[in-house]
Structure 1
Amino acid sequence: MQIGKVLLQQRTQHHWSQAELAAKLNISRQSISKWEQDVSLPSFANVVVISNLFKISLDDLIKGDDELMDKLMKNQKMSKVSKIVLWAFGIAIVSYGILMFAGVGVQSVQAWIQVPAFIAFVGLLFTINWRQFNRSLSKSTVILGVVLLALLIVPEIYGFVHGFADGMVSMNKGFWEDYGNGPK
């Protein structure tokens, strides 16, 4: 079965118009029409989103569509996430080598890297297309994200609370040493 026929069948089962489906995919209604009429083929990113939207496997969505399979095989590129991970590891390994060669200690690296890391993180948050990002998250991804974020935050909270408590204890200790014996 061609992907256009599967798309039409799924859209009809969900009682969606072409315009409604197009709005969910953040594309034009004309694109849906062209796909359903086998005039053009969706990109791989759209195929994945359609698969998630209709809760059908990619295999069921594109099975028997040799033209789409050929297109997808020709357009296989490294994903942006893969590029981010590979570049990050490459830069980290090269940086590690340079810092070790220069004799820079771990404490120094941890101290100066916090500000650029924070700036990069905030920049990343502002450049993400959140609408598209939210559509791509599965339930298990959200759960794993929550666990990972909690694991990253716990040491920071722990350090903050203990630092605050230690500061209060030493401040109170100094207060009682200076004023604890009553008026002089």
Structure 2
Amino acid sequence: MKISTQIRKYRQRDGYSQEELAHKLYVSRQTISNWENSHSYPDIQTLLMMSVLFDVSLDNLVRGDMDMMKNEVLKQKNAMNFWSWTMVGAYFATAVLMGVVLNFMNIWGIILPICTFGIALLGAIKVERIKKTHALGTYEKIVAFSEGRPTEEISTKKGWKDVMSLVGVPLAFIIIMLLSVYLFSLI
């Protein structure tokens, strides 16, 4: 059974309007409507509040959605891995091609590195879109909670890995590009 159906069922069972439920959960009426129409998904804290409010277990509230969440997390992580590796490969190709272009081609040769850089940007955009479109953080927390794992390990905050990728990727790009320019100048 879908969570949207469960929320509506328990809301109506307990005699709450969407407005009343929204007030009790500290969200807008539109948010309740979006949950009930499967346009968005409540976060783990709100699901826990609903399970207490409706006096049902979290398992009963999200039953049937758990397999869907596990599959969605796996599917979207695979998509993110594909686009992440595409992005890294395209950045690397761009850096190497800059050495070739600057040493052996005229100004029109810059089109090729621009294209590979465009592919890298497309990969970055796709990864960010997957993160925003799919509630992967929420799904991962719900799955972790249902399996008895701590949800704190799944953080939505920026960690040191995120900061290092913001600094490390451009730095690696510059180093590879400079090495490429230097090595191709020796030929």
Report the TM range for the smaller structure's normalisation: 0.3 to 0.5
Higher RCO by CA contacts (8 Å cutoff, separation 6 or greater): 2
- When normalised by structure 1's length, the TM-score is 0.40
Task: Give the greater-gyration-radius structure (CA).
Answer: 1
